[in-house]
Structure 1
Amino acid sequence: MSTPTQFGYVALIGLPNAGKSTLMNTVIGAKVSIVTPKVQTTRRRVLGVFIQENTQVAFLDTPGIFTPSTRLDKAMVNVALQAIQEADLVCVIIDACKRLTDHERLLTIAKQSGRPICVVLNKVDKTPKDKLLVLAQTISETYGFNEIFMISALKAQGTEDLLKYINQKMPEGPWLFEEDDLTDLSLQDLATEFTREKLFAFLHQEIPYGLMVQHELWKEDTPGKVQIYQRIVIEKNNHKGIVLGHNGTLIKKVREAAQKDIRQLIQKKVQLFLQVVVKEDWK
């Protein structure tokens, strides 16, 4: 008699830059969600598929939960709140380097959701052990969460115990994704996300938050070679020169870095073409 399969959704929620995307990429073993030092990098729900023995887990990487001020901000937070309701298990990612008071709203949202919850203290490699123990005890006593894990998503420390627990919590059911699926994002979506990641990395201050990257065209006329056309949409005309850089130097760096990541993903030669356009109030 064959062992029944298990499948479930796991929502990763947390403050901006808590390490949600890093954790998912580490677990999946591939970059399916972009990571930058800037907050609010993740703007939409990104799904990553993890398989261990008879269990398939669909991780939902969500935008950070914060106090929204624009329509885009509100949409991002709503994505995270919706993922909580869709999930079979919610992992609350806590940046152990921050104060517990910074996470009070997040932990309250998780508590009031009524969903199965586990708490993940991330960045333990940067946090004193005594502080971690106090943090875990306080969370348990204040919010009643008893399943608390300590990990370093960046260094893949402590993730094995977390994954073992997650697998045990997944309900019986058929797998919804093929064995070789990593994500539900298309290659075109992943390519635009890689470009946005590089823009966040090379640009400073508020400019990255005032832009988006749109897919225009994907051409594969020659076997083993892909031409990709994307459009970078910005809010203000005076930002165009900053995005392009002196004599186009910055946009060239962005193109080359994104091209490299896309090439590693699809294992083909890549030519990436970027156009910068102004569209006021796109957010």
Structure 2
Amino acid sequence: MWHFCVRSFHRFNAVARSSLPTGNENVWDAMYKRGIPRTLDEMSLMLGERVDSPPNSRLLKIAIVGVPNCGKSTLINSLVGRKVCSVSSKVHTTEVSARAVHNVESTQMVFLDTPGLVTPQEVSKHSLNRSLLREAEISLHEADVMAVIHDVSNKYTCNSLHPRVLRLLALYPTTPSILILNKVDLVKHKQRLLDITRIITEGIVGGNRSHVEKKKDVPLSKEKLLRKTKKTLQSVETSTEDKLKKKGNTLVTGQIGLPRDISQISEQDVMEGKVRLTEQEINAFIENRTGWPLFEEVFMVSALSSLGVDDLQDFFYHKAYEAPWIFSSQMLTDQNPQDIALMTVREKFLDAFKNEIPYNLKFTVEHWDLSEEEILYITIQIGCKRQGLARFIIGSGGKSVIPIAQDAEQDLRNTFCNEVKLRLNVVYDPTLKRK
């Protein structure tokens, strides 16, 4: 076993220090002032405490979904007003679903930050956990609203929703959904945003024909919705039938276990959730689609600069319904503090190194201790499968890894509102396996 240690001890900056509790407060009040637990024991206390729902309490659970690197975590941080989710310019920064909580008066909004929608091929390429394939679906089971984030700054993908996003919308058609066009500040010609909106919504928002189609806002009946995509369904019927015939199957309607004629499935029934489509039928249903006609609202935002975020937050506030809160009024997230530290360090490695290097590292917590002096000591091991890779990450005299440790340590101080001493152990161990 060969390893290199980096320990970072720096002065606690004024912003983080001002958030620290004073010595006159008891431990319980201090813990809740932070909003994020520092240890597993504090986390158990916060999650186990009786929720203090105010009179006439209201609740809304929002699942934030989208492809990798579209700005999901950045948007949640902006909505909450504090960094609770890791953010990086690289894809697949978020590896596990996390809840972030924001309270306004008697209303609690719970944001479900899901990992970017991935394919099995991407899981293999980036050495990701296979559970990512189903994380978004699990979150949608408990969500009241599905918020689809779409990156309009990418000229190659801005004109269509990703098939995996369309798949989720087809799986949960009765869950209210909204479209959030992100990174609008990077679009030079703003008229382009209206064109993208028309394409992504199929010209329909909230059941009305969108004004960007230059037509009157006439309610669109479900019969018209059916006619609108019937050609799409018919166009895939022939190809679907040919594929099934090659396998010795025939198209039979209404018999359990046998494929149905996709052209005979009413879009109205699909949109109302009366028909549960198989994976094959979903693929046929969305094959020629670029958008979705059931979005209730469209928002144009820049999550990084918080442009348009107030309007989005106001929508969620008025969408909430009467129900008890599910988290304490002072709790900001249900994330494990050790997971927060691991994701923070991983985020810094993703930004510091190019290509696939960070995806081939394994991050584990070696030591976690909150001292009597209220200093949080954290040691994280970065495992490498090759000795040359470990040396490259460390750099000559630690010049590569030391800035990462310093940056991560400062982020953790601001996150936990507490003094943090972070130590990174870069380890070469050929026995390490990919996740």
When normalised by structure 2's length, the TM-score is 0.61
Which amino acid is 1:78 matched to? Answer: R
The count of aligned residue pairs is 282
Residues 1-283 of structure 1: pairs in structure 2 closer than 5 A: 4-69=56-121, 70=124, 72=128, 74-98=130-154, 99-101=158-160, 103-114=162-173, 115-127=175-187, 128-141=189-202, 142-144=291-293, 145-277=295-427, 278=429, 279-283=431-435
Equivalent pair of 1:17/1:40 in contact (CA under 8 Å): yes
Which amino acid is 2:306 matched to? Answer: A
Unaligned runs of 5+ in 1: none
Bigger radius of gyration among the two: 2
Unaligned runs of 5+ in 2: 1-53, 203-290
Q: Note closer, same or farther for the CA distance 1:265–1:109 as it changes in structure 2 (3 Å cut).
A: closer
Equivalent pair of 1:64/1:77 in contact (CA under 8 Å): no
Provide the rounded CA distance (Å) in 1 between the counterparts of 2:364 and 2:321.
37
Equivalent pair of 1:236/1:280 in contact (CA under 8 Å): no
Percent identity reads: 34
Measured against aligned partners, the alpha-carbon deviations of 1:195-220 in whole angstroms (never above 9, x if no partner) come to 11111121221011112322222223
Which amino acid is 1:57 matched to? Answer: M
Q: Note closer, same or farther for the CA distance 1:226–1:146 as it changes in structure 2 (3 Å cut).
A: closer
Equivalent pair of 1:32/1:46 in contact (CA under 8 Å): no
Provide the rounded CA distance (Å) in 2 between the counterparts of 1:280 and 1:187.
24
Local SS of the residue matching 1:78:
helix
Which amino acid is 1:261 matched to? Answer: D
Provide the rounded CA distance (Å) in 2 between the counterparts of 1:270 and 1:3.
38
Provide the rounded CA distance (Å) in 2 between the counterparts of 1:49 and 1:83.
15
Deviation of 1:73 after TM superposition, in Å, equals 5.3
Local SS of the residue matching 2:368:
strand
Aligned Cα root-mean-square deviation (Å): 1.9
Local SS of the residue matching 1:143:
coil
Which amino acid is 1:32 matched to? Answer: V
When normalised by structure 1's length, the TM-score is 0.92
Equivalent pair of 1:36/1:201 in contact (CA under 8 Å): yes
* Greater fraction of residues in strand: 1
Measured against aligned partners, the alpha-carbon deviations of 1:176-201 in whole angstroms (never above 9, x if no partner) come to 11111110113322222211111112
**Larger relative CO (CA 8 A, sep 6+): 1 or 2?**
2
